[in-house]
Structure 1
Amino acid sequence: MKIRRIASVTASVAAFALVMTACSSGGGNGAEASDSPAAEATGGSFSMYIGEPENPLVPGNTAESEGHQILSGLFTGLVTYGPKTELTWDGVAESMESSDSINWTVKLKDGWTFQDGTPVDAESFVDAWNYTAYSPNGYTNSGFFSNIVGYGDLQAPLGADGKPTGDPAAKEMSGLKVVDPQTFTVELTGPFAQFPITTGYTAFFPLPKAFFADPVAYGKKPIGNGPLQAETEMVPGQGITLARYDDYKGTNKAHADTVEMRVYTDVNTAYLDVQNGSLDIVDTIPPDAITTAPDEFGDRYQEFPSSSFTYMGIPLYQPRFQDKRVRQALSEAIDREAITKAIFNGTREPATDAIAPVVDGYREDACKYCTLDVEDANKKLDEAGFDRSQPIELWFNAGAGHDAWVEAVGNQFKKNLGVDFVLKGDLQFDQYLPLSEEKGFTGPFRLGWSMDYPSPQNYLEPLHSTKAFPPAGSNRAFYSSPEFEDLVKQGNEASSNEDAIKAYQQADDVLLEDMPIIPMFFGLTQTVNSERITHVNVDAFTTVDLAAVEVVNP
C-alpha cells in the first residue's frame, strides 16, 4: 500500500504516482532485503502480536490495522507498492489503461489462483466490489467504490431518521463490466487519474466463489491469493495461524512455514513476551519502554518511517462540541511538543497538518490552531459560551499504550482551560470502533490513520466526507462540509499532479478551520523482535511484511 509496466499506464497516472522518500532507519535485522524477493522457503514458524480485529476477516469489511495486518499476507491486489510506496505491477493486474481517466480497462495476468485452486479472474474482482458496495451488507469499505457509476443504486433509500426505508435499486454497479475472464472495465463518475494507485488497498482485493457460498464461514478462515494461507480459523481473543502458500504467483514468496498471529488485549503483556522469548514480533512499543528498548534489543529494535497520523476526533453529534470555536480552543490548549518529549521520548512529531509528511501535499504549520495558545483558547471558549463546570470525557481504546498521553491532554485542559476531565479507556479495540459508528462517544476520542494508498486524498475523502459516514467509511466525527467535498472533487478530477495537490490543500484548509479532528502526532513504527528471526521490515503503511521474515535455524 511497485512502476514496472509504466508503458501500460497513461501518462496522467504516472504523474500521480506520489512517491515517498522514506526508507528504513533500522539496523541489520530488517534493513537488508532478502537475497531475492522470490527466495526459497527457509522453513520454521514465528509469532506476532496483534490486537483484536474489529470484524471477520473479509477485505471489504476490514478498515483497521489489526485485520489488515492478517489480510496483507493472505491477499495480493491488482497492484502493489514498492519500498517508497511507488506503484508497481507485481500484483494481479497486467495493465490499467484509460484515455480520459474515466473509463478504465483492467487486464489481468494469467495463472493467478486462490488458495483453493480456483482462478483469480475478472469476475472475482467485480463480484467482490459489488458485494462490498451493496449497502445492506454494511461493509466498512463500501465508500471506496462511491465514484464508480451505479454505486448510488446499491444504496438503500434512507428516511428522515437516517435509517433504511427499503431495498436498493440494484445489486450490481452499472460501471463495472466483465469483458472476458482476464478483462473487466470500470466507468467512473468523473475523471480520477489516481484510480490505479488506489487499487492496491484492501477494499479492492478479489474474492473467490467460496466467499459468496458462505460469507460467515469465510470470515473465520479466509481464502485469498497471497503468499500465506489460513491454516486455522480465526479465534476471537486468540488469533489465527497462517501457512506458506507454495503456489503463490507473486514475487514476494513466504520464507517461513507458518506464522502465528496472536491476539493480545494489552501491548505491555506482548512486550514482556518478546523480552522473555515467547513471542517474536511486537510492532508497537509501550511508551514506558521507548527509552530502554534500543539498548535492550540492539539491532533487534528498529524504527521505520510511517504514514501514521494520530488525532483526537470530535463527536460533532454532541451539542457541546458543535461550535467550531470550542474545537479550535481545545486544540490550542494542547502542548503537543511537551507530550512528545515527556511521554514518547521525541519519537513522535507534533502534527500541524491533517496530511502526513510522507506524502506530497503536506505543509508544515498548515494548522493555525495546532500550536499552544492558552490566551486565545480561553477567549474562544468564552465567546462560544462553553460550560466549564462539566468535565470533558476523553475516549481511547484499552491496552494499546494510549493511557499516558490522553491523560496528559486532559491535564492540559484542566491547567490551561480550567476544565476537568474523565478518562474513558475501558473498551478493547473491537468494542471501541463499533461504538464510534453508533455515535456513542461523549467527548474527544483517540484514533489513528495510516494511508491506504500514497496520496494526500487518502487523508481527506475517506476520513472526512459524507460518503465515508460509518458503516460505509471512517468519518467517525460525522463531519459534513459541501465546500470541503467540492474541493476534494476538484482534486480528484484534476488533470495534473500540481492542480490536484492545490485543490487537496484547499480542502485541507477548510478541514483545519472547522476542526472536526484535533491533529496530535505523526509517528514512526517501532518494532522489537526475538533472536529467532531476521528480516523484520515494516512498510510506510505500518504493515509488517510477513512473507519476508526468516526464521533462524528453523
Structure 2
Amino acid sequence: MTRTTRHSRLALAALAGTVLLGACGTPGSGDDNAPESVSIAIGEPAAPLVPGNTVEEYGSQILESLWTGLVEYDADGEVSYTGVADSIESEDSVTWTVALQDGWTFHDGTPVTAASFVDAWNYTAYSPNAQAGSYFFANIEGYGDLQAPTDDNGEPTGEPAATELTGLRVVDDLTFTVTLSAPFAQFPVTVGYNPFFPLPESFFDDPEAFGSRPIGNGPFRAAGDYVPGSGITLVAADGFAGAQAPAVEELEYRVYADPKTAYTDALAGNLDILPRVPAEMSEVAQQEFEGRYEETAASGFTFLGLPLYEERYADPRVRQALSMAIDRDAIAEHIFAGTREAADSVVPPVVGGHRDGACGYCALDVDRANDLLDEAGFDRTQPIELWFNAGGGNEAWVEALGNQLRTNLGVEYVLRGDLAPAEYGPLLFTQGMTGPFRMGWSMDYPSPHNFLEPLYSTQAQPPAGANTTFYSNPEFDALVAQGNEAASSEEAISFYNQAEDVLLEDMPIIPLFFDVTQSVHSGDVDDVVVDLFGRVDTTAVTLAG
C-alpha cells in the first residue's frame, strides 16, 4: 500500500523517485509603534483570484495566504502533511482515498468537506469554465469527457460530454476517492498546488464576484475586494485550523507596475517586503539593505519560448542555433550581478533529477550556430522580435540577449516589451507571439515532473495548460507517462531524464537562467522567509521590536 499521512515528511530526494503601497516606519527602527499591517509588493495578477485559474506567481502569492490545501510545502521544498488531509492512501497508485481532518472551515463559516474539493476540481477541469489550471486534472479518469470538441484551430465546436469527472467520488463528508487514468505514484505530492484548493458553496453562486473577494480556508481572509492596479488587504482569520497561525494581524498586497518603484519604496521604509529585487538593483541591494537582505536558493527557471506555430521557428535547427548564440554566463554576470545561474537543463538544481550539462545546445558556439541557421535557410534580413512582459525588470537582460544575437548571428532584433502581464498572458495562450518570448516557471510541487509535463506535453497545450509553445512529441509524452507510472523514485527519474533529452533535442524552448532569489525588507519586520517557490511565508513573518 502507498500510504502518506499527516505528520509524515517527504524529502526532495525521495520525491524525485514534482507563468508588486506600504507600512510607515524608518528602516531599522523596530520601535514599539511599528504598524500591525505588513505590506508586500507584488505585480498585477493575470487572472481573478480563483484557485483553478491562478497559475502565475503574483496571484499564487495571495492565494497562499488565503487557502490551505490538502498538503503544504515547507520553505525548503519538503512536503508536509499539515494541511487539510489526514491521509492519502492507495494500493495501486491509481485509486487514492483522501481522508480529511475534521474542523476545517472556510472564512464564511461553512465547513470544508470532501465535496468542497470534488466540486472545485470538477469546475476547474470542465473546459467551458476556461480555467488555466484545468490541465492538472488531466490524469483523473473522465477528464476527456469534460473537454469540448474543437476544430483544427482549437475552437470549441460543441459542449463536453460530461460535467463531472468519473474519477472523483464523495464517500462521506470527510472522505473522497480519486481514480486516475494511469498509475501516478507522486499524486499526493501534487495536491498542495493551488488548482487543487477547495471551494465553498458560495463560489458557485457568483464565480466572478468571488474572484474579486475570495473566500478561502487559510490563515488570512480578505478584508475587502481586490482592486486592479492597487491590491488587496487581508486580515488574520479567526479559528484557523492550521498548524501555524499568523503572527501579524494584517497584510497589504500592493501592486507595483514597476519593480524599481517598489525597491525605492522599500528603501525609504514605505514598503515592508519586496520578495524579488529587480535585476538592475541586484548589485547594490545587499549594501543598501544591510541586515535586511536575504539571498535564497530558488526553483525559478527563466527561458525563451519559441512560437512553433510560426513557420520561421518551425525548424529545430533554428531553435538550436539561437540557443548556441547566447552567452548566458555573460548576462548572468553583467546584468544580474551573479544572482542568476546559466541554465544547462530544464530541471533546476534544487529539484531532484537535475543533471548538469543536460542541454547540449546551451553552450556558446557561434560557428555551429551560424552553420545551423544556414542549413535551415533562415532569413537573416528580417529582425527577430523578442517578447517580454512590461514591468518585470526584464528589458536590460533581453536587450543584452538581443545584442548577442545581432553580434553572433548578424540578425537584427526588435524589443516587444510594452504589454502588461494581463495583456501579455492572453497572447501566450492564443498563439499570438511572433518571435521568442520570455517565460518564467517556478515549481508548483517539488518534482521534476512539474518542469516537464505541465509545460511541454501535448495535453498541456492551451487552454488546458501552460504549453505556450504548442510543442507536441509523442515520444516525449510517452516517456513522461512511463515516469509517472514508475514504482520507484530512481525509475521515475530515469524516464523523466529521457523525456528531457528528447525535449532538449527538439528545443521548443531555450533554457536561460536558474534563479537565486534576492529579497529585502524594512526594519519593522522580522522572520521574512522566501521559499523555493519564490513566495513569502506570510505566517512566519513577525513584527520587529
TM-score scaled by structure 2?
0.95
CA contact (8 A) 2:122 2:163 kept: yes
**Separation (CA, whole Å) in 1 of partners of 2:275 and 2:363:** 29
- Structure-2 change in CA distance of 1:223 and 1:6 (3 Å): closer
Is 1:534 matched up with 2:526? yes
User: Judging changes above 3 Å, is the alpha-carbon distance between structure 1 residues 274 and 379 closer, same or farther for their aligned structure 2 residues?
Assistant: same
Contact 1:19 1:84 in 2 (8 A): no
Whether 1:400 aligns to 2:398 is no
Shift of 1:6: 6.9
Is 2:462 aligned against 1:464?
A: no
| 1:356-375 superposed matches below 5 A | 356-375=348-367
Deviations 1:457-501 (A, max 9, x none): 000000001211122111111111101000000000011111100
Paired residues of 2:72 and 2:82 also in contact (CA < 8 A): yes
- CA-to-aligned-CA distance 1:302-331 (integer Å, 9 cap, x gap): 011100000010011110000000000000
Superposed, which structure 2 residues align to 1:157-196 within 5 Å? 157-196=149-188
Question: Match for residue 31 of structure 2?
Answer: none
- The answer to whether the 8 Å contact 2:12/2:447 transfers is no
Deviation at 1:86, TM superposition (A): 1.7
Partner of 1:423: 415
The verdict on how the C-alpha distance between 1:132 and 1:233 changes in structure 2, with shifts beyond 3 A counting, is same
The 5 Å alignment of 1:54-73 reads 54-73=46-65
In structure 2, what is the Cα distance between the partners aligned to 1:140 and 1:460? 17
Code of the aligned partner of 2:92:
D
- The Cα offsets for residues 184-215 of structure 1, whole Å up to 9 and x where unpaired, read as 00000111000000000011000000101110
- How many Å apart are 1:343 and its aligned residue? 0.6
Please name the residue that 1:252 is paired with: 244
Normalising by the residue count of structure 1, what TM-score does the alignment of the two structures yield? 0.93
**What displacement does 1:552 show?**
2.7
Cα distance in 2 for residues equivalent to 1:7 and 1:217:
36
Q: Does 1:101 align with 2:93?
A: yes
Evaluate the alpha carbon distance shift between residue 15 and residue 515 of structure 1 in structure 2; reply closer, same or farther with a 3 A threshold: closer
1:150-229 alignment, distance < 5 Å: 150-229=142-221
1:304 corresponds in structure 2 to 296
Deviation at 1:252, TM superposition (A): 2.0
**Paired position in structure 2 for 1:498:** 490
Q: What is the CA–CA distance in structure 1 between the aligned matches of 2:303 and 2:493, rounded to whole Å?
A: 22
Q: Deviations over 1:56-78 (max 9, x none)?
A: 00000000001000000000000
Contact persistence 1:336–1:521 (CA under 8 A):
yes
Q: Distance in 2 between matches of 1:541 and 1:260?
A: 20
Contact 1:19/1:85 (8 A) holds in 2: no
Distance 1:413 1:434 in 2: 27
Among 116, 137, 149, the residue aligned to 1:145 = 137
- 1:135-165 CA distances to partner (integer Å, 9 max, x unpaired)? 0000000000000001111001112332111
- Using the alignment, how far apart are the partners of 2:74 and 2:64 within structure 1? 14
List per-residue Cα deviations over 1:10-55 (Å, max 9, x = no partner).
Answer: x9x99953499xxxxxxxx9xxxxxxxxxxxx98101111100010
Out of 312, 321, 335, the position equivalent to 1:343 is 335
Match of 2:446 among 454, 466, 476: 454
Relative to 1, partners in 2 of residues 1:459 and 1:263: Cα closer, same or farther, differing over 3 Å?
Answer: same
* Distance in 2 of aligned mates of 1:156 and 1:399: 35
Aligned amino acid, residue 15 of structure 2: A
Contact 1:43 1:257 in 2 (8 A): no
Name 2:225's counterpart in structure 1: 233
**Paired position in structure 2 for 1:386:** 378
What are structure 2's unaligned runs of at least 5 residues?
A: 19-26, 28-33
Residues in 2 aligned to 1:532 and 1:84: alpha-carbon distance in whole angstroms = 25
**Partners of 1:43 and 1:256 within 8 A in 2:** no
Q: How many Å separate the matches in 2 of 1:86 and 1:215?
A: 32
| Structure 1: gaps (5+ residues) | 21-28, 30-41
Whether the 8 Å contact between 1:18 and 1:86 is mirrored in structure 2 is no
Give the aligned residue type for 1:274. Answer: A
Partner of 1:483: 475
Matched, 1:286 2:278: yes
Tell whether 2:319 aligns with 1:321. no
Alignment map for 1:6-17 (pairs within 5 Å): 16-17=14-15
Instruction: Give the aligned partner of residue 354 of structure 1.
Output: 346
Q: CA deviation at 1:551?
A: 2.0
1:383 match: secondary structure: helix
Query: Which residue number corresponds to residue 257 of structure 2?
Result: 265
Residues 19/76 of structure 1: CA separation in 2 closer, same or farther (3 Å cut): farther
Structure-2 residue corresponding to 1:38:
none
In the TM superposition, what are the counterparts of 1:436-447 in structure 2 within 5 Å?
436-447=428-439
Give percent identity, aligned residues only: 58
Shift of 1:288: 2.3
Q: Distance in 1 between matches of 2:387 and 2:526?
A: 37
Residue 22 of structure 2 aligns with which residue? none
